[in-house]
Amino acid sequence: MNDPLNAGAICNRIVTCAERRMPLVQAARLMRDHHVGSLVVVDETSSGRLVAGMLTDRDIVTAVVAKDVDPAGLVVEDVMSREVATALEADSVLDLLGTMRRKGLRRLPVVTPAGLLAGLVTLDDLLALMAEQLRTMALAIEAGQRREAKARP
């Protein structure tokens, strides 16, 4: 149990992506079909996928639905967030949490040193990880208490 807690080790490597010119309605269906609340918008290159933006279900609601805009003529790049914070694979959990807190984000694309998409880490992922770590700590405390009670009844 000597796993490094860095973005590369904990990110989800299966990421649902969209391209800029994808029709917005198709992107929304992609979210529904994959049961995700966001898509990483990528530019396909010969080297791999470069992060170009993020599209969330909230982006669609606030920029399209709430403004009564017809989504039929829109594409992903019309609604996506263009300024995307990313994390490097080597970034620690504390680095991830710090970036999320400072930027007010719930998800971060994880990129390679060359800037290519490697995965996605979410606040939910980090919460589950921390819960597991806390549970392990609680079990260690309980084991120590049992050992003490057995050694010194």
Q: Are strands 49-56 and 87-88 parallel, antiparallel or unpaired?
A: unpaired
Domain extent at residue 140: 7-151
pLDDT tens digits, 10-27: 999 999 999 999 999 999
**Residue 103 falls within a domain, yes or no?**
yes
Q: Is the pTM of this model over 0.95?
A: no
**Residue 110 falls within a domain, yes or no?**
yes
Angle at 78 between CA 73 and CA 83, to 5 degrees: 165
Those residues whose C-beta lies under 8 Å from the C-beta of residue 116, and which sit 6 or more positions away, are 47, 48, 49, 50
Identify the CATH number of the domain in which residue 125 sits. Answer: 3.10.580.10
**Residue 47 falls within a domain, yes or no?**
yes
**Residue 75 falls within a domain, yes or no?**
yes
pLDDT tens digits, 111-140: 999 999 999 999 998 999 889 888 988 999
Task: Report the domain count for the chain.
Answer: 1
